[in-house]
Structures are given as structure tokens and as C-alpha cells.
């Protein structure tokens, strides 16, 4: 993984991969207790070899550290 993650979200995708997003690089849940937001989204592919399972796919400018969730909709969107 390109950085540490706490309080992140993981949503299964229809193709067997997983979207990992949101969270912080350190801290705990609670107002003002987390630091260094993770601003990138990742795809985890359990079928790839160890060391190549994580791919960075998108960046955001909005820090989502606490009370943020990702869910997979029936049509496959997150």
C-alpha cells in the first residue's frame, strides 16, 4: 500500500476486486484525532501476485477522515 490507512472504507466490486478509499494515515476515530488524510483511492486485486495487488486509481481534494462510507450499488457503482 502506498501509505498507512486507518478508518478507511473497502467496497467489493463486481469483477472480484475491491475499492479502498477514505481514511487517514494515522490517528483514531473522533473529531480532530486523525491526521494526514489519504486522498487517493486504491484497487486491491487478490488475484495478482503479492507486491502487485494494489493500484492507485484516483485522487481527491476532499479529506474524508471520519463518518464516511463506501457501498457497492446493485449496478456496480460505488
CA distances 4 to 21, 40, 42, 73, Å, are 12, 12, 12, 27
What pTM was computed for the model? 0.83
Q: Enumerate residues 6+ apart whose C-beta is below 8 A from 27.
A: 6, 7, 33, 34, 35, 65
DSSP state of 6: B
Asked whether the predicted pLDDT for residue 18 surpasses 90, the reply is yes
pLDDT classification of 63: cutoffs 50, 70, 90? confident
* pLDDT for the residue 4: 83
> What does the pLDDT average to over 38-64?
93
pLDDT classification of 57: cutoffs 50, 70, 90? very high
Amino acid at each position: 500500500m502506498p501509505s498507512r490507512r486507518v478508518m478507511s472504507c473497502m467496497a467489493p466490486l463486481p469483477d472480484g476486486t475491491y475499492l479502498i478509499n477514505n481514511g487517514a494515515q494515522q490517528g483514531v476515530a473522533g473529531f480532530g484525532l486523525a491526521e494526514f488524510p489519504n486522498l487517493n483511492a486504491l484497487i486491491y486485486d487478490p488475484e495478482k501476485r503479492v507486491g502487485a495487488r494494489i493500484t492507485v486509481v484516483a485522487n481527491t481534494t476532499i479529506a474524508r477522515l471520519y463518518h464516511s462510507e463506501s457501498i457497492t450499488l446493485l449496478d456496480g457503482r460505488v
